[in-house]
Amino acid sequence: MKDVIHYSCFDSPFGPVFIARSINGVCLINLSKTSEAEFQSLLRKMARKKVSRDDKKLESVINELLDYFNGNQINFKSILDLNAGTPFQRKVWGKIGEIPYGELKTYKWIAREIGNVNAVRAVGNAVGKNPVSPIIPCHRVIRSDGKLGGFSSGISLKKWLLKLEKQPLPSK
């Protein structure tokens, strides 16, 4: 059905992860601790479509994420649906998607790369709205002063993901 968002949940090393896909691709990954009812409500508000649990439809992306969470360097192949983002957000997310495994880049670097050096704050806001972390690896984005900056799922999870990629944490 075209008007349905399918979702699933799986256990990761840091707790349950909810994931959803539209007919166009993966549209939301929730790494924060939330209940199934809260996730369903979020999906309904976000997509204004019927919500249905279907573990089978999300099996391949779940396997990719589990592989990643188990410490394997993988190239995600899942198709994404980023239509909920603005054109600017999608541009930022596209640039984040180019950051290689185990590397860090700054918000300032992203702003420069997308051709708007004065948009550092707007880039930070777009990074914070990334709906499909870690497939779009916003945990690899830090502040210019070397500090980690924020992470929508919490700074401790950002540190966990960076350690997973064997990235030395900034000392600040």
Catalytic, 138? Answer: yes
The domain tally of the chain equals 2
Concatenated DSSP letters for 103-154? --EEHHHHHHHTT-TT-HHHHHHHHHT-SSTTTS-GGGEE-TTS-----TT-
Confidence of residue 48 (pLDDT cuts 50, 70, 90): confident
Q: Could you tell me if residue 118 is inside a domain?
A: yes
The structure's pTM equals: 0.90
Phi, psi of 93, deg, nearest 5: -60, -35
Q: Could you tell me if residue 74 is inside a domain?
A: no
Q: Could you tell me if residue 76 is inside a domain?
A: no
Q: Could you tell me if residue 49 is inside a domain?
A: yes
Query: Does one domain contain both 92 and 129?
Result: yes
Provide the domain limits for residue 11: 4-69
The CATH code of the domain that includes 29 is 3.30.160.70
Q: Which of 138, 142, 157, 162 is catalytic?
A: 138
pLDDT, tens digit, 9 for 90 and up, residues 78-133: 999 999 899 999 999 999 999 999 899 999 999 999 999 999 999 999 999 999 99
Q: Could you tell me if residue 79 is inside a domain?
A: no
The CATH code of the domain that includes 91 is 1.10.10.10
